[in-house]
Amino acid sequence: MANYTIAVGWSGKDALADSDAGKVISGADFNTEFTAVQTAVNTKADLAGSASQAFSATTAGAGTNTTQVATTAFVTSALTAATINALVYPVGSIYFNAAVSTNPATLLGFGTWVAYAAGRVPVGKAASGTFDTLNEEQGAETHTLSIAEMPSHTHGYQKHTGNSALSIHDISHTVNSYANTQTTSTGGGTAHNNIQPSITVYMWRRTA
């Protein structure tokens, strides 16, 4: 697109003496000047624009943050899928997929990702307490209760109360001495299921 440049030396004509025939403005002068104007105007794009009109502009760099016009080349470069995904998933983000095991670096086209929290369910970080440290692993799938963890309870047992012979327990009390007795035991001591309702997915964490 050409810029308009004055074609006739008008100031030079003004400097001529009135008697100089060159000072006369002719129709040819007007034709020359308006042809130059016409050429310049015709090469400018309409504000409405059209596909057939060329538009010259400097393509801005990726970090440009000014009022510079964004060309289609700039927009195409800045808004690639990888660029958008990188904004959506900054470093530290977690990506879930319930069907595809492909590493997000390949699947999404950006970043460094590592498999994360295998066999574990995420929980929000707390300001204090058990969950106050990021990436700290807690809990287990199964757990066997210790004696201290068992609910406080008692077991009943039977002793003779009629005319039959006294039990060992009663005899021991009769002579002011004590004997330990035990009830029958039950239970197998097997670890119990400790899993909350869960669903399995592929999980990745972006590290770079």
**What's the pLDDT at 179?**
57
Task: Note the pLDDT tens digit of each residue in 165-205.
Answer: 555 555 555 455 555 667 778 888 899 999 999 999 999 99
> Strand pairing of 113-115 and 202-206?
antiparallel
Whether the predicted pLDDT of 160 surpasses 80: no
Predicted pLDDT of residue 45: 67
- How far is 78 from 153, CA to CA, in rounded Å? 69
State residue 142's pLDDT score: 94
Instruction: Write out the E strands in the chain.
Output: 94-97, 113-115, 142-143, 192-193, 202-206
Share of the chain above pLDDT 90, in %: 41
User: Regarding predicted confidence, which is higher, 142 or 76?
Assistant: 142
Question: pLDDT tens for residues 2-55?
Answer: 788 898 888 888 888 888 888 888 899 999 999 999 988 888 766 666 666 666
